[in-house]
Structure 1
Amino acid sequence: MTGGPSAAARLFDIRRVIGGLFVVYGLIVGLIGLFDGPSEIDKAQGVRINLWAGLAMLVFGLLMLLWQWLRPAEPPAAEEAGKV
């Protein structure tokens, strides 16, 4: 990598992975919930559960990505990296 250890630390930040997956799954589940038919809504006692679950996952994923953007991961100091 040309960016060094700092770029590698940001690339493999777990918040980016979790946030990205929750955003993608939230969009998929939310879109499914948006187009649910009456039978699916009746199964959930009149609640569009897929839509609400998708929105919750989307918000959580966006918060994780926002957290990663506002407080990026710092690479370990040189003296800490040598200790194992």
Structure 2
Amino acid sequence: MADESSAKRRSAFDIRMIIALLIGVYGVVLTIMGIGFTTPETIAKAAGVNINLWAGIGMLIGAALFVLWTVLRPVRVVEEPPATE
């Protein structure tokens, strides 16, 4: 049981989870900006594309892929037993 909780603590600080968190937060912000705060003038500047919305959705998908990668291929730390002489 202690080994399992130790493994969970190690996976919580996996760099892939930190990257997923950062990309996910930015993705949520951009998606909200794209849905609620983008004006027609801003869309016209971007060649008719709501770039905040699409970039936010892309970032959320990227964050989900990082989390999926972390879940499917967790970090395995092999602990060697102490040498006995």
Q: CA RMSD in A?
A: 1.6
Match of 1:43 among 42, 45, 51: 45
CA positional deviation for 1:57:
0.4
For 1:29, the equivalent position in structure 2 comes to 30
Q: When the two structures are aligned, how many residues end up with a matched partner?
A: 77
Contact 1:29 1:50 in 2 (8 A): yes
Runs (5+) with no aligned partner, structure 2: none
> For 2:80 and 2:74, how far apart are their aligned partners in 1?
18
Contact 1:9 1:74 in 2 (8 A): no
CA positional deviation for 1:78:
2.0
> For 1:76 and 1:43, how far apart are their aligned partners in 2?
54
| Percent identity (aligned) | 39
CA positional deviation for 1:56:
0.6
TM-score, structure 2 length as denominator? 0.79
> For 2:78 and 2:28, how far apart are their aligned partners in 1?
35
Residues 1-84 of structure 1 aligned to structure 2 (within 5 Å): 3-4=5-6, 6-35=7-36, 36-78=38-80
Give the secondary structure class of the aligned counterpart of 2:47.
coil
Structure having the higher Rg: 2
> For 2:11 and 2:42, how far apart are their aligned partners in 1?
41
